[in-house]
Structure 1
Amino acid sequence: MDLPDPAVDPARAEDIAPDLLVVPNRGVQLVPNIGVVGGSHSVLVIDTGLGRDNAEQVLAFAREQARGRRIYLTTTHFHPEHAFGAQVFAGEATYLVNRAQADDLATKGPGYLSMFRGLGESVARRLDGVQLATPDVVYADDRGHDLDLGGRVVHLRPTGRAHSRGDQVVTVPDAGVLFTGDLVETGQFAIFPWFPPHDTDVSGVRWIEVVDRLAARRPATVVPGHGDLGGADLLHVVRDYLTELRDETWRRRDSAMSEETVVAEVTDVLLRRHPDWAGREWIAPGVGCLCAEHSG
């Protein structure tokens, strides 16, 4: 079944702080929340949308907001709807990411491009002509990067392995805003890109630790990868869900159930606890990941 067209709509952009806008995903699958953060001399775009056409709209919107200021681009992680439009920014923006994300893009990007093209006609059409971009600036994962936009410094910080190996969060300290990428979603089960043997870098155990650390910062506004914006409570919701997913999975693995039975039972439990959440297809990969982590 073909997915809805994953079209970014910059006309729906919302001001959430002075010179800080979010283009919301509006609940459309494979459309991320996209940020545009400004300072006195530069503007930072956070994530591109899926493919060239979406990225061209995002870049045009960023130009309007920049009004002559320099443009930077960063991406929260390498997955297609977040980073597979970066080629459009070449020559007009400086593209910077952390080392692990750059490595993910180079080594796993082609496989994800092929996989996403198989998700349906509308997605394949959005990915037509996509070429994976090479970042202009790659910073060390153990140091992070502070980007001075002019009177506003934005913090780019790798989290270590969680949703992906190269996850990066972006903080705007003066506004209390945290962009999390797919470490956090609203109103849906956490996305586990557990695709053995091709990609097994997601870690449910590390993910819990990462979200715990982010929650300790108590951001005023959390911009999730997908879904509605919220406060620090979003981080607690995600941490609590990941914890119950781990506990329900490991409890059953301790009893030597087959993985198939664990998946069925845990899925039933979580659907009853969260009947209104979207993305139920991500429960089984989450169980598979945590079964593997349980076994060491």
Structure 2
Amino acid sequence: MPDYPYADPVVELTDLQEIARDVVVIPNRNVDLVPNIGLIGGTRAVLVVDTGLGPRNARKVLEFATAYAAGRRLYLTTTHFHPEHAFGADVFAGEATYLLNRAQADDLTTKGEGYLAMFRQLGEPVARELTDARIPAPDLTYDGTHELDLGGRVVRLRPTGRAHSKGDQVVTVPDAAVLFTGDLAEAGQFAIFPWFPPYDVDVSGVRWIEVMNRLIEERPRVVVPGHGDIGDAGLLTQVRDYLTELRDETWRRRDSSLPEATIAAEIRDLMIRRHPDWRLPEWIERGVGCLCTERPA
């Protein structure tokens, strides 16, 4: 098993951020494989958004959510099926109602075991958090938009269609103009392209740009990214602009018939120069690989 070069992927219940009335974020502190986790409250119920990586993190989130709910009913949803977002959901069984868009539920069924095996090979700290992890099954699935009434507050759950994954879902709190994006948006790092041919090729850079354009039009006041610091609608524009420049630079070189490895190396250097403060440049090449296949004939 390789050395894991990052901080342990552990959810810490510190520096909680109340971003609106009865809307709290457990921040990821810019730790890899730790998502921003949300709690959205109404008079009758509380919705938890994402679980953290594996059962131990999820138990910590569940304990906090139970105390925060103070007798209100608990719901859980996840923004997409990747392990640090959803692979603690089984801990919530019997304590919360787990509801998902149908495409994400399908991702869990068809890809969950493969991703669990892959993540366990990333290093001992990750494998430790995934000890006894099981692929969760939702209590409820939906098609289209699902409006969840928490009591005096309706939260809107919406699948976006294929982008970062096939089953991406965003969560909005309309009365507070808050948007939870999952990994459709990240702050301070290069966009994560889970491009692993032939095993997983569902990510689409072209569709991702279209999704970001739609989200920008909604003009949220607060944007909670999957990873990184909470921002505003400008974060969505920043992600869209990066994806667009990655597409344009890839397609321009692809038209010249350069080998893909040469294209990827050139664009990696270019993007690092343009965004010197961003983390995780290893995702640039995977983005190039994805976009090379999406170049129109």
TM-score category of the 2 structures, normalised to the smaller one: over 0.9
* Deviation for aligned residue 1:295: 5.5
Compute the displacement of 1:10 (Å).
Answer: 1.9
Alignment of 1:34-45 (within 5 A): 34-45=37-48
Rounded to whole Å, the distance in 1 between the matches of 2:211 and 2:121 is: 31
Aligned match of 2:230 = 229
Q: State the alpha-carbon separation in 2 of the partners of residues 260 and 9 from structure 1.
A: 39
Structure 2 counterpart of 1:162: 163
Pairing partner for 1:96 from 96, 99, 108: 99
Deviation at 1:144, TM superposition (A): 1.3
Provide runs of 4+ in structure 1 moved above 2 Å: none
1:31 equivalenced with 2:19 (yes/no): no
Q: Is residue 47 from structure 1 mapped to residue 50 from structure 2 by the alignment?
A: yes
What does residue 8 of structure 1 align with? 11
DSSP-derived class of the 1:37 partner: strand
Distance, in Å, in 2 between the alignment partners of 1:23 and 1:62 is 11
TM-score for both structures, normalised by structure 1? 0.98
Report SS of the residue matched to 2:241: helix
Amino acid aligned to 2:201: T
Aligned counterpart, 1:218? 219
Deviations along 1:108-165, whole A, 9 cap, x unmatched?
000000000011000000000001111000001xx21000000000000000000000
Structure 1 residues 142-201: Cα deviation after superposition (integer angstroms, max 9, x where no partner): x21000000000000000000000000000001110000000000110000000000000
Query: How far is the alpha carbon of 1:12 from its aligned partner?
Result: 2.7
Alignment match, 2:22: 19
How many residue pairs are counted as aligned between the two chains? 294
1:135 aligns with 2:138: yes
Specify the SS of the correspondent of 1:11.
coil
- Equivalent residue runs for 1:156-195 within 5 Å: 156-195=157-196
Deviation at residue 9 of structure 1 after TM alignment? 1.1
Partner of 2:79: 76
Q: Distance in 1 between matches of 2:45 and 2:172?
A: 16
Question: 2:278 is matched with which residue?
Answer: 277
Task: Note the residue ranges of structure 1 that are not aligned, 5 or more in a row.
Answer: none
Letter in 1 for 2:203: V
Shift in Å, 1:56: 0.3
The alignment partner of 2:262 has SS state of helix
User: AA paired with 1:85?
Assistant: G
Q: Which amino acid aligns with 1:8?
A: V
Shift of 1:11: 3.1
How far apart are the structure 1 equivalents of 2:169 and 2:145? 9
Q: Identify the residue that residue 266 of structure 2 maps to in structure 1.
A: 265
Letter in 2 for 1:10: L
- 1:240 lines up with 2:241 in the alignment: yes
Deviations 1:32-81 (A, max 9, x none): 00000000000000000000010000000100110000000000000000
CA distance in 1, matches of 2:238, 2:229: 13
How well do the aligned residues superpose, as a CA RMSD in angstroms? Answer: 0.7
Structure 1 CA distance, aligned partners of 2:43 and 2:277?
A: 43
Letter in structure 2 aligned against 1:282 = W
